[in-house]
Amino acid sequence: MTATISETLLDWYDRNARSLPWRVPPKEPRPNDPAYPYRVWLSEVMLQQTTVAAVKPYFAKFTEIWPTVFDLAKAPEDDVMAAWAGLGYYSRARNLVKCARVVAQLGGFPETEAELLKLPGLGAYTAAAIVSIAFGQRAVVVDANVERVVSRLFNIEQPLPAARKTIREKADAITPDARAGDFAQSMMDLGSQVCTSKAPRCLLCPLSDLCEGRAAGEPERLPVKPPKKAKPERKGRAFWIERERPEGRCVWLVKRLGTGMLGGMRSLPDDGWSAREDGSGKAPVEGETADLGAVRHTFTHAHLTLEVIAIDGAEMPQGMGEWWPIETVEEAGLPTLFAKAARLALN
């Protein structure tokens, strides 16, 4: 059965592989180019908890500005964070810079899982993906798509996260020695295009006759997941502080602390809200205020309602920051939450 699964799936992949800017088409030789592992790594980091459609323009921008890992290693962190703005999960961007600098010192990406795992921000999935796709070595690659395919293929009833050990063992059992990178990508494509979380397209699946979950009659309920916890509701305030400056009309922007939510990003000053508690409401400067409305944003651990308050006054705002020309505020690299707040203020 093992050979049948891998051979069947690779045959399907040869005919149905998605065309992606970071991917080498099936059966084509891997490029003998040091930039190729970089592109694989960059795409995998960007794709974590993010859709392919959202990643494509960011991948194009990054590879145009920084075509190699050595170029990225030289980049100021602020520039990378600004280019990443809107993609979310900003710790990935900070680790991206750290990892690029280590790889540059090494002279290139390591070619084993064990060495890749020593790099900043690389977990088991990313290391396995790089070593199989970029270097053609056998590795067991398990992301959310693969997790779903394997759970259904072998009708794994054990709930997550306890089921992950079994899922990995089963994935290992069906991973071939040859074309392991193509096999990993075929599993990802199958999970994202056919064996979807809702309404799986079983009639189009090349493994439907071998699928124990389908034979049991309820593939959609697999993998079994624990009930979702309700996200807490948080409230905070952001402050829009405009001034006329020699360079024109400007808004006061601050840089957030390097750790914590949206760490290291430029933003509007706020009242210290977090996923754990509401903000204090305290403004960074005194003056006449006007309520501009509120924006809503959902993070991994909380929902946030952020009031946007304009402050008019002559005093210098407290804390470190910079005056940014309002006409180019879209180039400041504000994360999505504060980009929403800025659009609200400007409208």
- Flag residues of the chain having pLDDT under 50: none
> Cα(205)–Cα(9) distance, rounded to whole angstroms?
9
Q: Give the start-to-end residue ranges of the domains of the chain.
A: 2-221, 233-346
Task: Judge whether 44 counts as a catalytic residue.
Answer: yes
CATH of 2-221, one of 3.90.120.10, 1.10.340.30, 3.30.70.60, 3.40.1030.10: 1.10.340.30
- Residue pLDDT, tens place only, 251-262: 999 988 877 778
DSSP state of 202: G
pLDDT for 1: 55
Backbone angles phi, psi at 224, to 5 degrees: -75, 125
By three-state DSSP, how is residue 31 classified? coil
Backbone angles phi, psi at 109, to 5 degrees: -75, 135
Q: Which of 161, 183, 186 is nearest to 173 (CA)?
A: 183
Count Cβ atoms within 10 A of the Cβ of residue 178 and give its class: 0-12 exposed, 13-18 middle, 19 or more buried: exposed
293: left (phi over 0), alpha (psi -120 to 50) or beta: left
pLDDT for 32: 84
Give residue 163's identity as a one-letter amino acid code: A
Q: Which residue has tokens 């994935």?
A: 171
CA atoms within 13 A on the CB side of 342: 25
Backbone angles phi, psi at 249, to 5 degrees: -75, 130
Q: CB–CB of 262/334 below 8 Å?
A: no
pLDDT for 90: 83
> Cα(183)–Cα(140) distance, rounded to whole angstroms?
10
> Cα(190)–Cα(151) distance, rounded to whole angstroms?
13
pTM for the complete prediction? 0.82
Fold of 233-346: Nucleoside Triphosphate Pyrophosphohydrolase (3.90.79)
Q: CB–CB of 330/340 below 8 Å?
A: no
CA atoms within 13 A on the CB side of 85: 22
Q: CB–CB of 31/205 below 8 Å?
A: no
In this structure, are strands 266-267 and 288-298 parallel, antiparallel, or unpaired? unpaired
The angle subtended at Cα 144 by Cα 141 and Cα 147, nearest 5°, is: 70
- Residue pLDDT, tens place only, 149-159: 999 999 999 99
Spacing of C-alpha 297 from chain mean position: 17
**Token pair recorded at residue 322:** 């910079």
> Cα(48)–Cα(144) distance, rounded to whole angstroms?
10
> Cα(84)–Cα(265) distance, rounded to whole angstroms?
10
Q: Which residues pair with 328 in a beta bridge?
A: none
Q: Which of 319, 225, 222, 228 is nearest to 267 (CA)?
A: 319
The catalytic position among 44, 113, 147, 307 is 44
pLDDT for 3: 62
> Cα(301)–Cα(260) distance, rounded to whole angstroms?
12
pLDDT for 29: 86
- Residue pLDDT, tens place only, 187-198: 999 999 999 999
By three-state DSSP, how is residue 171 classified? helix
DSSP state of 197: S
> Cα(217)–Cα(165) distance, rounded to whole angstroms?
24
Q: CB–CB of 334/85 below 8 Å?
A: yes
